[in-house]
């Protein structure tokens, strides 16, 4: 696999998320309207304790959150004052979950921009494991001012 375009340190500089809710490990491709991120799913993820103890499966909402974080990385990367902004999930449409995501899987999340206005972005994407689609969705994100106390 090629060197990441953004490693975890660069992602942490862009996204405000932190453990246990930072759900993207690296970005391997990125252009103005397209991004591909990787999430390594490990058995020590906190959600596996209860979902499900005898058959650990990554919750679908967290797969969608991973997709949103990859999308948010693309949106925030292009904004000069990104430390003063947040990308908030506004809607999830046409979400489909095709196969369970299990410990040891590597999610490849590909997101493509469909529409972009000043403060709203619509992106369509899919998550795959070993080339097989496990989830897909259309996400609408809203760019908002970050509360002053939280700005870096």
Cβ atoms within 10 Å, residue 23: 24
From the centroid of its chain, how far is CA 46? 17
Active site residues: 51
Whole-number Å distance between alpha carbons of 49 and 33: 37
Task: Check residue 149 and report its DSSP letter.
Answer: G
Spans of all domains in the chain = 8-150
| Homologous superfamily in CATH for domain 8-150 | Hotdog Thioesterase (3.10.129.10)
Task: Kindly report, residue by residue over 31-81, the tens digit of the pLDDT.
Answer: 999 999 999 999 999 999 999 999 999 999 999 999 999 999 999 998 989
Mean pLDDT, rounded, of the chain: 95
Model pTM score: 0.94
Identify the pLDDT of residue 80: 87
pLDDT level of residue 21 (50, 70, 90 thresholds): very high
What pLDDT was estimated at residue 149? 54
């Amino acid at each position: 696999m090629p060197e990441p375009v953004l490693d975890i340190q660069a992602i942490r500089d862009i996204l405000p998320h932190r453990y246990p809710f930072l759900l993207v490990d690296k970005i391997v491709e990125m252009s103005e309207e397209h991004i591909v991120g990787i999430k390594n799913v490990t058995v020590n993820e906190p959600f596996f304790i209860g979902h499900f103890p005898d058959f650990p499966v990554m919750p679908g909402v967290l797969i969608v959150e991973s997709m949103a974080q990859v999308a948010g990385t693309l949106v925030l990367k292009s904004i000069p004052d990104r430390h003063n902004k947040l990308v908030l999930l506004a809607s999830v449409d046409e979400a489909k979950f095709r196969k369970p995501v299990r410990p040891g899987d590597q999610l490849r999340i590909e997101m493509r921009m469909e529409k972009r206005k000043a403060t709203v972005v619509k992106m369509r994407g899919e998550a795959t494991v070993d080339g097989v689609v496990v989830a897909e969705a259309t996400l609408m994100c809203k760019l908002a001012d970050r509360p002053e106390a939280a700005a870096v």
